[in-house]
Amino acid sequence: MPDFIQLPSIFPLGAILFNFLFFTVAIPIEAYILNYRLRFDKRTSIFYSIFINLFSGVVGWIAFFLIEPRLSTEQRSELINYVFFNRFTQQNIVLPYIFMIALIIFFATFFLKYGLLQVAIFSLREPSESKPEPLPYTQRRSNRRNLRLRLQKTSVFTTTLFANALSYAGILGILLFRGLFPMN
């Protein structure tokens, strides 16, 4: 094997498989919410869900690999114990940090997914949708009112928040199940 390719002697296959499991849980949940709330067709909502989840997953792993070298030795050992053995050595110290980190990750992922969904909707819309024909003044006024009511019902922001919360609830259920029934 060439010298420039160095694979680790311990491969975190469990973490990689759980990441795929999380994607298989999050993508259908979020696609359903996008379909139901924003009235996308099924194919479009699945595409948007796959796009925002995979892209945010890549950004999350990049952030993890940038932050991990800056952790202290104690924090690294706790991280390794959890990833490889599904346990913490100092639970009373680590649990408050986990709650805080989980909230940060949730909101960072939410804002990233919201931004990605906005970019995807803006960049993938049809060119004919961008320039509607001018309407008479009275019709424009009633259309503005209808548009405002429609946007209040189907806000992309609240839909993304709702979809992210439901997918995180599904992932949390899997993690709780994993914690209750360890494979050791």
Inform me whether the pLDDT recorded for 117 exceeds 80.
yes
CA-closest candidate to residue 162, choices 128, 129, 117, 123 = 117
Whole-angstrom Cα distance, residue 130 to residue 127? 6
For the whole model, what pTM was predicted?
0.75
Burial of 97 (0-12, 13-18, 19+ CB in 10 A): exposed
* Banded model confidence at residue 75, pLDDT cuts 50, 70, 90: confident
Inform me whether the pLDDT recorded for 171 exceeds 80.
yes
Whole-angstrom Cα distance, residue 161 to residue 86? 29
Contacts of 147 (CB under 8 A, 6+ apart): none
Q: What are the DSSP E strand ranges found in the chain?
A: none
- The neighbour count for residue 2, using CB atoms within 10 Å, is 5
pLDDT of residue 84: 72
Tokens 């390719």 belong to residue: 5
Whole-angstrom Cα distance, residue 10 to residue 141? 65
Mean pLDDT across the stretch 161-179?
Answer: 91
Note whether 94 and 152 are within 8 A (CB).
Answer: no
Q: Residues of 21-36 as b/e, b for ≥16 C-beta within 10 angstroms?
A: ebbebbbebbbbbbbe
Note whether 6 and 12 are within 8 A (CB).
Answer: no
Inform me whether the pLDDT recorded for 114 exceeds 90.
yes
Mean pLDDT across the stretch 74-95?
Answer: 77
CA-closest candidate to residue 162, choices 36, 15, 12 = 36
Tokens 């939410």 belong to residue: 110
